[in-house]
Structure 1
Amino acid sequence: MASKPKPALTTEPEFSMEVVDGRTLRVGRWRFDEGLTKPPLLFFNGIGANMEAVAPFAEMLDERPFITFDMPGVGGSPDPKVPYNAFLMARVADLLLKRFGVEQVDVMGVSWGGAMAQHFALQHPGRVNRLILAATTAGMFMVPGNIKALSKMADPRRYIDPGYMEKHFATLYGGSTKGAGGHTGRITPPSKIGYLYQLLAMIGWTSAPFLPFLDKPTLIMMGGDDQIVPVINGDILKTLIPNAQLSVIEDGGHLFLLSHLDESLAAIRAHLDGA
């Protein structure tokens, strides 16, 4: 008797609006109902970035479930009613995992989200298997980037004016931009209050005193030509985290995860699989 063919797996995400700790958040889950055995990847996005910005990465990492959410006032999440901080949003992420029946995750964060990933791993260590920190820092103890890039990053036109983004893309993000051209088309501008509260959430924040106690296998990924987060910040993280390795994409800028997707995925898969 011939065996039945296995159903084709889908990469279409499932979106839902979840109320957690009084905050309404848009949550995206990939491949949660496909019987995959690897731990889900909990992903924290960069400042002002909605989950569609990371969709190409989520879709290609097709061997494991993937979960992320839009911060308040970003993407499909309504504006925050009150300010928040890293502690509160790490609690929210923990409660979301409980809601979806997830006990342990691998965690990844990019840029602003890299700080959230560090904080989550420190606040909820029992939840975390492995950690990936991309284009990020230890908080206020960081080496700042190119002043031209930082000033243009603060300009809201980078979200709403494609011409402005195209003109200043290299100054903003640095490095090779091959493969990152569709990035702006996937971004929904955050609200003014959403962006402001994200900035305020990390004012004065640092993980530096606590990173020596972080005992999770950690991959630090940096772009060698990142104009926003210089690669030396990756060296600082590697020095502070006991079980860390540093991978530098030499011609990568701040968006190396998109511009060097295949190279990034290879390093990420090797780390998550314990290679």
Structure 2
Amino acid sequence: MDEVVRIGGRRVKVRRNGCGPAVVLLNGVLMRLSTWEPLVEHLDGFECIRVTMPGLMDSGGAQPLVTMRGFSSMTLDLLDRLGIERADVLGLSFGGMVAQQLAFDAPERVRRLVLVSTSCGLGAVPSNPMSWWNALLEDAWESSPLLGPLWLTRQWGVTLRREFGASWERGLWIDGVGQQFAAASMWSSLPWLPALAQPTLVIAGTADALVPAENAGILASRIPDARLHRVRGGGHLCLLDRVAEVGPVIADFLRASERTALDQAVELR
């Protein structure tokens, strides 16, 4: 079920599916809620709550500048509005940064973390700056019936053309893109990663040009209860391109952690 929730005057698009423990899915910069569909199919037994941060795609509309802590606060307010006390949080790319901040700001609200194709922000291994610029240009060029299909098919493949290219038709809010890049450029989780107590799964494609795979190693080595899964040959969108591999890894992690929590509860009785 889709719904629009206003948080602090900002419009946030949310989609809820399934029953069971809540899993919050935080979008990357150019993602739509529908992008998660292949993964959701692997998360049977969970309530999947897809969230688009304000200013982009399904949530639309330019917004005043928000810091990473502001995005975390808005996500907490959203959980309150939806009546969710605790949730697993999965963040892809920029959404992974918000997920880290959320787990630090409100550890009692976050059961487990899944961080995909993301980094610690400042202090991370940088990508080639042209990779980000090319991603935006290629998305814009998808609006051209002549250049878009040729360029995107050659350079980025079917998945990027389908997910990012289609999002241009829905309205790419340039202010929102800039806002999220600005928030990421002024933020770092590096000093407090060791304070994150949640069981954490870190996933990275070894061929990610936007967020180099070395950043996954930084996260996994500094978060105390973290494990790392590398997708051989996977790119920034390995969660989509390789969902047949990545989906079961995420589902097994969440279910195994759930069983461990239940076993511990029984032992305490």
Instruction: Tell me if both proteins adopt one fold, taking TM over 0.5 as the criterion.
Output: yes
How far is the alpha carbon of 1:150 from its aligned partner? 3.0
In the alignment, the residues of structure 1 paired with residue 234 and residue 128 of structure 2 have an alpha-carbon distance, to the nearest angstrom, of 15
Equivalent residue runs for 1:218-233 within 5 Å: 218-233=200-215
Q: Note closer, same or farther for the CA distance 1:184–1:43 as it changes in structure 2 (3 Å cut).
A: same
Letter paired with 1:64: F
Residue 11 of structure 1: aligned partner: none
- 1:1-275 aligned at under 5 Å gives the runs 14-31=1-18, 36-37=19-20, 39-155=21-137, 157=140, 160-161=143-144, 163-164=147-148, 167-168=151-152, 171=155, 182-184=162-164, 186-187=166-167, 188-274=170-256
Aligned mates of 1:247, 1:139 — CA distance in 2: 20
Q: State percent identity of aligned pairs.
A: 30
SS of residue matched to 2:191: coil
- Conserved? CA contact 2:103–2:110, under 8 Å: yes
Secondary structure, counterpart of 1:76 in structure 2: helix
CA distance in 1, matches of 2:61, 2:115: 27
- Secondary structure, in 3 states, of the residue corresponding to 1:183? helix
Aligned partners of 1:180 and 1:259 also within 8 Å: no
How far residue 92 of structure 1 moved from its aligned partner, in angstroms, is 1.5
Report the counterpart of residue 7 of structure 1 in structure 2.
Answer: none
Could you tell me which residue of structure 1 aligns to residue 265 of structure 2? none
1:7-27 per-residue CA deviation (whole Å, 9 max, x = no partner) reads xxxxxxx11111112212111
Cα distance between partner residues in 2 of 1:180 and 1:59:
20
Question: Which structure has more helix as a fraction of its residues?
Answer: 2
- Asked if structure 1 preserves the Cα contact closer than 8 Å seen for 2:140 and 2:165, the reply is no
Compared CA separation, residues 237 and 93, structure 1 to 2 (3 A): same
Gapped regions of structure 2 (runs ≥ 5): 258-269
Q: TM-score, normalised by structure 2?
A: 0.85
- 1:106-141 per-residue CA deviation (whole Å, 9 max, x = no partner) reads 011011111011011111110111100001100011
Q: 2:148 is matched by which residue type in structure 1? A: Y
**Alignment size in residue pairs:** 253
Shift of 1:166: 5.1
Aligned partner letter, 1:164: G
* Separation (CA, whole Å) in 2 of partners of 1:63 and 1:185: 32
1:23·1:80 contact (CA, 8 Å) conserved in 2? no
Q: Are residues 211 and 23 of structure 1, via their aligned partners in 2, closer, same or farther at CA, if it must alter by over 3 Å?
A: same
Q: Under a length normalisation based on structure 1, what TM-score does the superposition of the two structures give?
A: 0.84
Query: 1-side partners of 2:254 and 2:109: how far apart?
Result: 15
CA contact (8 A) 2:127 2:209 kept: yes
